[in-house]
Structure formats: C-alpha cells, structure tokens
Amino acid sequence: MHFFTYKGNELYAEDVPVRTLAERYGTPLYIYSYSTVLRHFRAYDEAFASYPHIICYALKANTNGALLRLLAKSGSGADIVSGGELFRALKAGIPPEKIVYAGVGKTEAEIMTALKNRVLMFNVESEDELREIDRVAGRMKVKAPIALRINPDINAQTHPYISTGMKEHKFGISIGSALQNYGLAARLKNIEVVGLQKHIGSQITKISPYVEAMEKILLLLDTLRSRKFRIRYLDIGGGLGISYKDEKPPVPADLARKLLPLINGRKLTLIMEPGRSIVGNAGILITRALYLKKGAGKEFVIVDAGMNDLMRPSLYDAYHHIQPVIMNKRAAVTADVVGPICESGDFLAKKRRMPKVNRGEYLAVMSAGAYGMSMSSTYNSRPQAAEVMVKGSTHSLIRKRGTLDDLVRDEVIPGFLK
Ligand code: LLP
C-alpha cells in the first residue's frame, strides 16, 4: 500500500501532483512519501505489539537522513553494515541501544567506533571476526555484546544475488558449527553473548522460508539456553518482499501470526531488520523521455535516468513498473526504456508493453524507494539525482541534486602534474 495514486489522469505523491515536483526540482528525481514510510513502519510495530520487539530498519535500503529522522522519531532502531551507516544512524537520532551491526568485513576502526558508541550488539559472521572483536574490546577494556549470525541453510527462493542463507553463501556461521562458535565466544574474556541472528535473503515473497528458518533457529536457541547461554535477543533479519509487478508477499501481520506462536512463551526480545518492505514502495523515480527511437520490433524510449540512478534492472533484471505521470488515453507499444549511459546493460525496462510515450513527458518508475538512491553512482560523470519528501500537501528537498563540482571535489592533482 502506498500513496502514489492517480487523481483524474494525473499522478500524485500524497496530495502533490508529481508533475509539479518534476518541474520544480528537475529530473531524475526521487520522491518519497512520508505517510507511506510511516504506515509501513507501523505495520511492523503493530503486528508485533504483543511481544517485546525492536524494529531495526536496514539502512542499506535507503540512507537519506530525512527518511532516517522520520524512522527514528517513530521509534525505529537500525541494522547497519558499516561505520558510515553507524554515523548516519546516530546523526539521525537513532539510539545506539537500538542499533545492531552486521556485515562480514567489519574493520578494526569500525569495531572500535561501534564499541565506543555502545551499540546493542554485533552480529558476528565468522570465528576470525569474533576473535578480532574480543581483541579490540580487550584493548578498550569493555565487553562486546554479540550475537552470532547463523546461516540456517534455507533456500529463500529469491534472486540468487540476494539470497544469503544457504551454506554456499559467504554470510554467517554454518548452523553445524554454531555450538562450537558459541563455546568459543563464551571463553573469550571480552565478549558477552546476548543474542542469536539469522537473515536468509531479500525480496522473499513466501512465508515458508521464514517458518523453516525460525524452527531451525529456535532448536538451536533452546540448546544454547540449556547450556546456560543467556540469549536475550533473537534477531530474525529482514527480507520481506514487496509487490513490484504482481507479487503477493506476506505482510508483517502474516509474519507475526506465523512466527509468534513458534516462539511460544520463550522470554526474548525479537529483533527484525526490514529495509525494502518499509521504504521500497514509499519511493518513486521520476524521469523525462528525452528521445524516441524505432528499433527492431520495438521502440526505444531514451530517458534521463540511467543505471547509475537505478541499478536494479541492470544488476538483477529487476522489474519496476513504469507509467506516464499524466495518463491520458493512447495506444500501447512494446518498448525498451533505456538510459543515457554507454552500456547495453543500461535499461530500466526491456520489451515492456506500455502506453506509447511522448517525447518530453515525465515517467514514474515505481517501487524505487529501496536500493535505488542508496546504490546509485556518478558513472559517466552524471551528478546524482535529487530527492524530495512529500507529506500531505507539503514537499521538501531532502537531498540537493549533485553538481559538476561534486564530481571532482575530492580529486587531487599531484605536484608532478602541475
Ligand atoms: N539484514 C541484513 C543482514 C541484510 O543483509 C539485509 C539486506 C537486510 C537486513 C534488509 O533486507 P530487506 O528487508 O531490505 O530485504 N540490493 C538488493 C538487495 C540487497 C539486500 C542486502 N541485504 C536489491 O536491490 O534487491
């Protein structure tokens, strides 16, 4: 559910015509709906209201500070994977006691900063990392709270690039060696075991992988507790899918209905790390049709947003719905919607049946709020898109469009070239 709807034939972001925003701020333009983000966050919070829980929004989906501030004010925690994301989360006002820190490659400096800021826990992904956190914590004379990220060997039934919970993946500690690693954690003097974490993938559209993974993880949890480990936090990761095309993914209430009975009376705080399901359908990318070109059996619609702005179609062959901002009656055509970048992989849609586009008109690329701007780059020396947030009938720029100066700001010409 989101608040990008047509009123008459004109697309609105909440109560603001999208065309007004495109004219005012230019394109390519990311537009986010305040009410949609809030609604999605609350859907989690309300679904799990009967059980102690923390919703740790996965920053990687979208790190815009205004969006983070909105989530922080709503009571969200954060799932982070880098010192940069820690910096952003704290800056937005997310309390450190609601921050969980994942990632297979945490550096010494990042571990130090996280310890200094007293994050809730490190989700540890290897034995080497566990020893490193122990060493750094020892030097700082603190105890590091940790959970082990357990790879439950479950097929999340999603795109191979975003499936993470099978034994061939680089993530987490295999469930077979979990006890041995928890044993090691207990022996390390500067480590305090507080939790257990799993995350099996992203854009998951079925509930069964969650149930299967939960059953496996709870067996492990019970064994650990019988061995006197004080596991207080059970972190089930993120991954809930959204509807890009015609998927019907479970909603947080479905998750709660299936998972809470499995937890059945165990005393824990449940942690979730949703990213996409909070911001994915809360954002759209507006682009302008620059040129039209006849190809073999199809048309090319050349637009001013490229793979540098939205990488998902190129990288995962992901489907994003594309529709005219002003939807008047017209014929349907088959078209490739392509960007200005010098690669054949630069497309937003391929062989898409869609309304015939007019040169110069605005198009909305839907469901672009997650892994859109956060994965964007300046490839081909294209300054990054601007971002706007709409709340009711008000709108505000939340990130300025990149400039030409931004492209070269951090470059240094060495003395021998001067
Ligand atoms: N927790 C962990 C440990 C993760 O690795 C991820 C996502 C999440 C939570 C949030 O997952 P979500 O609820 O957003 O599915 N760039 C890809 C998605 C990569 C997901 C990486 N990890 C895409 O555009 O589809």
Count helices and strands (H / E) in the chain: 12, 21
Q: Which CATH number fits domain 4-31+280-408: 3.20.20.70, 3.40.50.1370, 2.40.37.10, 3.30.300.30?
A: 2.40.37.10
Q: What is the mean pLDDT of the chain?
A: 96
Establish whether residue 273 lines the binding site of ligand 1, counting it when its CB lies within 6 angstroms of any ligand atom: yes
What's the rounded Cα separation, in Å, for the pair 350 and 205?
23
Best residue among 202, 272, 312, 348 to mutate for probing ligand 1's pocket (most ligand atoms within 8 Å of CB) is 202
User: What pLDDT is stored for residue 297 in this prediction?
Assistant: 82
Reading the block at residue 209, the tokens are 């992988």
Give me the mean pLDDT over the 54-67 stretch: 98
Establish whether residue 244 lines the binding site of ligand 1, counting it when its CB lies within 6 angstroms of any ligand atom: no
pLDDT at 166 over 80: no
pLDDT at 165 over 80: no
Distance 275 CA to ligand 1 centre (A): 6
What is the percentage of the chain residues whose pLDDT exceeds 70?
Answer: 100
Among 141, 168, 261, 342, the active-site one is 342
CA 334 to chain centroid, in Å, comes to 31
Nearest to 178 by CA among 223, 129, 243: 223
pLDDT tens-digit readout, 185-237: 999 999 999 999 999 999 999 999 999 999 999 999 999 999 999 999 999 99
Cβ count near 170 (within 10 Å): 10
Nearest to 82 by CA among 126, 52, 113, 56: 113
Reading the block at residue 404, the tokens are 């030409």
Cβ atoms of 152 and 217 within 8 Å: the answer is yes
Cβ atoms of 349 and 313 within 8 Å: the answer is yes
User: What pLDDT is stored for residue 177 in this prediction?
Assistant: 95
Give me the mean pLDDT over the 52-60 stretch: 98
pLDDT tens-digit readout, 374-414: 999 999 999 999 999 999 999 999 999 999 999 999 999 99
With the C-alpha atoms ordered 4, 6, 11, 17, is the resulting torsion angle positive or negative? negative
Domain with CATH 3.20.20.10 in the chain: 103-272
pLDDT at 158 over 80: no
User: What pLDDT is stored for residue 168 in this prediction?
Assistant: 73
Sorted by sequence, the CB contacts under 8 Å of residue 54 that are 6+ apart come out as 77, 98, 120, 269, 270, 271, 272
CATH of span 103-272: 3.20.20.10
Establish whether residue 312 lines the binding site of ligand 1, counting it when its CB lies within 6 angstroms of any ligand atom: yes
Nearest to 369 by CA among 15, 100, 25, 70: 70
Give nearest CA residue, ligand 1 atom 23. Answer: 371
Best residue among 273, 314, 373, 376 to mutate for probing ligand 1's pocket (most ligand atoms within 8 Å of CB) is 273
pLDDT tens-digit readout, 266-306: 999 999 999 999 999 999 999 999 999 998 888 999 999 99
Give nearest CA residue, ligand 1 atom 7. Answer: 202
Establish whether residue 106 lines the binding site of ligand 1, counting it when its CB lies within 6 angstroms of any ligand atom: no
pLDDT at 164 over 90: no
Reading the block at residue 412, the tokens are 């240094």
Distance 188 CA to ligand 1 centre (A): 30
Nearest to 109 by CA among 88, 89, 139: 139
Q: Which atom of ligand 1 is nearest to the CA of 315?
A: 24
Sorted by sequence, the CB contacts under 8 Å of residue 288 that are 6+ apart come out as 22, 27, 303, 304, 360, 361, 362, 363
Torsion of CA 283, 97, 55, 206, to 10 degrees: 100
pLDDT grade for 171, boundaries at 50, 70 and 90: confident
Cβ atoms of 34 and 70 within 8 Å: the answer is yes
Establish whether residue 79 lines the binding site of ligand 1, counting it when its CB lies within 6 angstroms of any ligand atom: yes
Torsion of CA 204, 271, 89, 144, to 10 degrees: -120
pLDDT grade for 167, boundaries at 50, 70 and 90: confident
pLDDT tens-digit readout, 99-144: 999 999 999 999 999 999 999 999 999 999 999 999 999 999 999 9
User: What pLDDT is stored for residue 182 in this prediction?
Assistant: 98
User: What pLDDT is stored for residue 217 in this prediction?
Assistant: 97
What's the rounded Cα separation, in Å, for the pair 28 and 383?
10
Best residue among 150, 151, 276 to mutate for probing ligand 1's pocket (most ligand atoms within 8 Å of CB) is 276
User: What pLDDT is stored for residue 55 in this prediction?
Assistant: 98
Q: Respond yes or no: is residue 342 known to be catalytic.
A: yes
pLDDT at 157 over 90: no
User: What pLDDT is stored for residue 169 in this prediction?
Assistant: 78
Establish whether residue 163 lines the binding site of ligand 1, counting it when its CB lies within 6 angstroms of any ligand atom: no
User: What pLDDT is stored for residue 240 in this prediction?
Assistant: 97
pLDDT at 60 over 80: yes
pLDDT at 163 over 80: no
Burial pattern 399-417, b for ≥16 Cβ within 10 A else e, equals: bebeeeeeeeeeeeeeeee
Domain with CATH 2.40.37.10 in the chain: 4-31+280-408
